[in-house]
């Protein structure tokens, strides 16, 4: 990985993300252009357990972190000497997994005498909207002045500028965020029990689908009738969410139907279950937009990849598909808006497992 910075004259930010079961490294410019974005998913490794096994994840991160960084540098045609800052996820996440990324980041930053920017994972998800879309990404059609204000049917161009209301729906979180600037956000609502992604994953397990289940349910739901089963949308006060009742309703339905019927009606079950989750997300997001008077709505996080959710919020800014699930480009992106720690003062920085706020 060493050698003169021959490949590129640009100064780059190296981002690292190891908070769960994806080992990821990315290089972006200070303007938010992605030069490389490598994600090595451990999903197959955890599939047999039906969920992420923390100790297994940490060990795998340890094996993957260096090759993934090498690959990110190679793809960007860059050398370590082209890097001007290291950005890394500090939390929330699995503590052992986070420590692998944080230690690698500290070691690299220290060896290269670079500053380190510790990034909050949730801020990272929001910052997936602050990246320049790659030239190859399809250009969204919108006229001048449309999108951000006024015509809510036209999605705005990315990168998105605050203020906006953001739905962050992932495997670990379901949050409604008031994003007033690039540096942070205020939490307006959260889940009282399971996260939306967790509801997808647990539902998939009940339906005998693979892990992680969100994408599997999304795929299967396209072949099913979303009106065939009635699943409850929990109504909790305020702007919070609740998904545990829905999961229990599916469990009872699966028991009631029996193996043979479940097998036959799996697509209908998936479509109806997905409809209930999406409905809950859309209802609460719309209520929050009305309550706060937000003119722009955005959706980020792994569940933002869901095709029904994307279609249900036509005027919303959607994180690009490849930036919905965990990646390091979003972490590097967020690092542009946090205070970096100068060389050598970061060696005592610790990871945190749950939300800091």
For residue 323, the partner it binds in ligand KG4, Zn ion, none, with Cβ less than 5 to 8 A by kind, is none
Does the footprint of ligand KG4 cover residue 120 (CB under 6 A)?
A: no
Does the footprint of ligand KG4 cover residue 325 (CB under 6 A)?
A: yes
Please choose, from the candidates 17, 77, 25, 19, the residue with its C-alpha nearest in 3D space to the C-alpha of residue 52: 19
Antiparallel, parallel or unpaired: β 297-300 and 174-181: unpaired
Structure tokens at 77: 């045609």
d(CA 157, CA 143): 10
Min CB(332)–ligand KG4 separation in Å: 16
Question: C-alpha 118: how far from its chain's center?
Answer: 17
Using the Cα atoms of residue 223, residue 227, residue 229 and residue 235 in order, give the sign of their dihedral. Answer: positive
Nearer to ligand KG4, 82 or 218 (CB): 218
Euclidean distance between the first and the last CA atom of the chain, given in angstroms as a whole number: 37
Using the Cα atoms of residue 133, residue 137, residue 143 and residue 146 in order, give the sign of their dihedral. Answer: negative
Question: What does the per-residue mask of binding to Zn ion show for 274-313, with x meaning CB under 5 A?
Answer: ----------------------------------------
From candidates 212, 224, 226, 320, binder to ligand KG4 by CB under 6 A: 212
Min CB(170)–ligand KG4 separation in Å: 3
Residues 228 and 268: beta-carbon distance below 8 Å: yes
From candidates 18, 23, 29, 170, binder to Zn ion by CB under 5 A: 170
From candidates 29, 37, 89, 170, binder to ligand KG4 by CB under 6 A: 170
Phi-psi category of residue 164: left, alpha or beta, with phi > 0 → left and psi -120 to 50 → alpha: beta
From candidates 17, 216, 326, 340, binder to Zn ion by CB under 5 A: 326
Nearer to ligand KG4, 240 or 322 (CB): 322
Stretch that binds Zn ion, among 146-154, 289-297, 320-328, 338-346 (CB under 5 A): 320-328
Beta strands per DSSP E along 149-275: 164-169, 174-181, 184-190
Structure tokens at 68: 């993934």
From candidates 305, 316, 323, 338, binder to ligand KG4 by CB under 6 A: 305
Min CB(335)–Zn ion separation in Å: 16
Structure tokens at 107: 């070691």
Min CB(198)–ligand KG4 separation in Å: 6
Min CB(270)–ligand KG4 separation in Å: 11
Min CB(159)–Zn ion separation in Å: 19
d(CA 115, CA 339): 10
Does the footprint of ligand KG4 cover residue 320 (CB under 6 A)?
A: no
By CB atoms closer than 10 A (0-12, 13-18, 19+), residue 53 is middle
Does the footprint of ligand KG4 cover residue 214 (CB under 6 A)?
A: yes
Structure tokens at 345: 């003062």
Contact residues: ligand KG4, CB under 6 A: 20, 170-172, 197, 200-201, 212-215, 218, 301-303, 305-306, 325-326
Residues that bind Zn ion (CB under 5 A): 170, 326
């Amino acid at each position: 990985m060493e050698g003169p910075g021959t490949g590129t004259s640009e100064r780059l930010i190296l981002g690292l993300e190891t908070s769960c079961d994806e080992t990821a490294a990315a290089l972006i410019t200070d303007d938010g252009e992605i030069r490389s974005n490598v994600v090595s998913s451990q999903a197959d490794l955890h599939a047999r357990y039906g969920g992420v096994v923390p100790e297994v994840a940490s060990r795998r991160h340890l094996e993957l972190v260096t090759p993934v960084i090498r690959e990110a540098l190679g793809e960007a045609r860059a050398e370590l000497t082209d890097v001007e800052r290291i950005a890394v996820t500090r939390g929330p996440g699995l503590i052992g997994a986070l420590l692998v990324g944080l230690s690698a980041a500290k070691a690299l930053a220290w060896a290269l005498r670079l500053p380190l920017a510790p990034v909050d994972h949730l801020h990272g998800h929001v910052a997936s909207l602050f990246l320049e879309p790659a030239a190859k990404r399809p250009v969204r059609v919108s006229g001048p002045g449309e999108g951000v204000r006024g015509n809510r049917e036209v999605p705005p161009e990315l990168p998105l500028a605050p203020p906006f209301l953001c739905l962050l729906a992932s495997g670990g979180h379901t949050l409604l965020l008031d994003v007033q600037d690039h540096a942070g956000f205020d939490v307006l609502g959260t889940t009282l029990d399971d996260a939306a992604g967790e509801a997808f994953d647990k539902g998939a397990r009940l339906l005998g689908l693979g892990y992680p289940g969100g994408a599997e349910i999304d795929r299967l739901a396209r072949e099913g009738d979303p009106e065939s089963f009635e699943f409850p949308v929990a109504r909790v006060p305020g702007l919070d969410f609740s998904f545990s009742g829905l999961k229990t309703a599916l469990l009872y339905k699966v028991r009631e139907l029996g193996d043979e019927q479940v097998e036959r009606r799996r697509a209908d079950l998936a479509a109806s279950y997905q409809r209930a989750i999406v409905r809950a997300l859309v209802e609460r997001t719309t209520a929050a937009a009305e309550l706060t008077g937000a003119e722009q709505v955005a959706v980020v996080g792994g569940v933002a990849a869901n095709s029904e959710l994307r279609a249900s919020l036509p005027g919303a800014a959607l994180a690009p598909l490849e930036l919905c699930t965990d990646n390091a480009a979003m972490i590097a992106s967020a690092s542009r808006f946090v205070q970096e720690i100068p060389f050598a003062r970061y060696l005592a920085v610790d990871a945190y497992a749950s939300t800091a706020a």
